[in-house]
């Protein structure tokens, strides 16, 4: 008796940036449910780094697909979690926060020589709120982005 092996054939796809072909699992698809364009992991790193210098963005929470005419967006948090190391993601968010673009729910430590970035509930940014940096362990005001000022309210 002859045995047959039914294996699903893996399809090759082409990166829309570098035009290299690879398997679907090697491509970024974070947060783009309706997008059918593929970007390889190497290009997604470069594309997100270049996006920080792109003046068309008023927010870095979402980064538009690089295919001309495509209206879909990559969710930056998801891309960072899946394709960037913790160090790379923190460096990217620090650069993004340092730009003039708005980033929802992200703050960086205002202390000199500390560039920690972390998520903050938006409700806490409406009034002076104490936070302790998870890296340098110094206290600061989330709203004012200065060292903590007990008893003073600037909202």
DSSP string, 18-31: T--EEEGGGEE-TT
Match 């190497």 to its residue by tokens: 42
Is 98 a member of any domain? yes
Q: Are 37 and 16 in contact (CB under 8 A)?
A: yes
Are 30 and 76 contained in the same domain? yes
**Residues 33 and 100 occupy one common structural domain:** yes
Task: Judge if 97 and 114 occupy the same domain.
Answer: no
Distance between CA atoms of residues 155 and 147, nearest Å: 15
pLDDT digits over 104-128, tens only?
Answer: 667 778 888 887 877 777 666 667 7
pLDDT in tens, 1-27: 444 444 445 678 888 888 888 876 667
Q: Which helix (H) or strand (E) holds 146?
A: strand 146-147
**Same domain? 81 vs 22:** yes
Question: pTM for this one?
Answer: 0.61
């Amino acid at each position: 008796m002859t045995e047959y092996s039914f294996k699903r054939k893996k399809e090759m796809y082409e990166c829309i940036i570098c035009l290299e072909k690879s398997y679907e699992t090697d491509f970024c698809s974070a947060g783009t449910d309706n997008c059918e364009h593929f970007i390889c992991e190497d290009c997604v790193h470069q594309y997100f780094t270049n996006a920080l210098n792109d003046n068309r963005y008023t927010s870095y929470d979402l980064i538009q697909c690089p295919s001309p005419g495509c209206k879909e967006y990559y969710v930056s948090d998801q891309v960072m979690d899946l394709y960037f190391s913790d160090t790379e993601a923190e460096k990217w968010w620090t650069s993004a926060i340092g730009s003039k673009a708005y980033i929802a729910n992200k703050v960086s430590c205002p202390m000199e020589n500390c560039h920690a970035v972390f998520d903050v509930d938006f409700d806490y940014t409406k009034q002076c709120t104490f936070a302790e940096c998870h890296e340098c362990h110094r206290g600061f005001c989330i709203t004012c982005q200065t060292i903590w000022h007990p008893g003073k309210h600037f909202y």
